[in-house]
Amino acid sequence: MNVKFYVNNYVLIWNLLFQASISEPIYNLKQKLWANYKNEYNNTYRDKHLILRDAKNFIPNDDTVYNIVVETREYEKLKKCADKYRMELMKIWDSNKRLINAFVKNILKRDIRPYTILVVNEELDIIDTNYLNEETGTLIVGKRIDKKDPTKIIVEMIMAIVKEEIKYDSNKSEIGTAIIELAVLNELATILTKKSCYISGQPSLSNIKRNVYPYWLMYLAVPKDEFNTYMARDKIAFDANSMAYEKELKKMDIVEFIDFCYRNKRYILK
């Protein structure tokens, strides 16, 4: 997966202005701007999609608010924090790059577009996807890094990307979401942390995932004589002896597997 991390002034300022205030000085700055430049502030809100279409080359029609913010002490501090946060994200990503690429190749089995990761302050607590360019995806990231499990932020980023990249018909939404969870929140997280993460995900999807799980192992090309090892690892039990091993599943990509499970849901979802 090809990704590049950037801190962009316009993206950072826009999110500071229109997301929840992350500090009292930022709140006071926003109040002051609203009181003195209401029209310009309102106009700036409309810039989001224009910025994300091509953040590197974006030029605002009215740069009044941007120019005021970028000259403040508050922004200078936040920009330094965002730059530091960007370096931390890059370090975590690079240290897991081989496993991430293997995940795309062996589990998604589909090509993923290059991505521009636009880094904002972690206090904003956002991961936002906006895909306005067919060739390149865009992801805004600003979430705290869990010091006990730094890979958690990577899983969240990839989950956001995969949910946008992997498309299926709306009637397959529930089973599709469950399988995306199996791929990212469960299997990828297990690979990165080296411990089972198969309890993670939406409780409302747990029954679907439990029923899909045997076929998921076949999709992952796990030999039938290793099923018991995986069941013990993930604490998900099923009667392996009563099931036919679907050899064709390992040849499918993730979208084809979603389609298979939907077509056979009458037998899979008990």
The answer on pLDDT for 18 being more than 90 is yes
If you average pLDDT over residues 251-266, what whole number do you get? Answer: 97
If you average pLDDT over residues 228-241, what whole number do you get? Answer: 96
Share of the chain above pLDDT 90, in %: 90
* Residue of higher predicted confidence among 131 and 98: 98
Q: What pLDDT, on a 0 to 100 scale, did the predictor assign at position 130?
A: 66
Tell me if 117 sits within 8 A of 158, measured CB to CB: no
Q: What pLDDT, on a 0 to 100 scale, did the predictor assign at position 5?
A: 98
Q: Is the pTM of this model over 0.85?
A: yes
The answer on pLDDT for 132 being more than 80 is no
24 Cβ neighbours under 8 A, 6+ residues apart: none
Total residues belonging to the chain: 270
Burial class (CB in 10 A: 0-12, 13-18, 19+), 15: buried
The answer on pLDDT for 131 being more than 80 is no
18 Cβ neighbours under 8 A, 6+ residues apart: 45, 48
If you average pLDDT over residues 153-182, what whole number do you get? Answer: 95
Tell me if 158 sits within 8 A of 188, measured CB to CB: yes
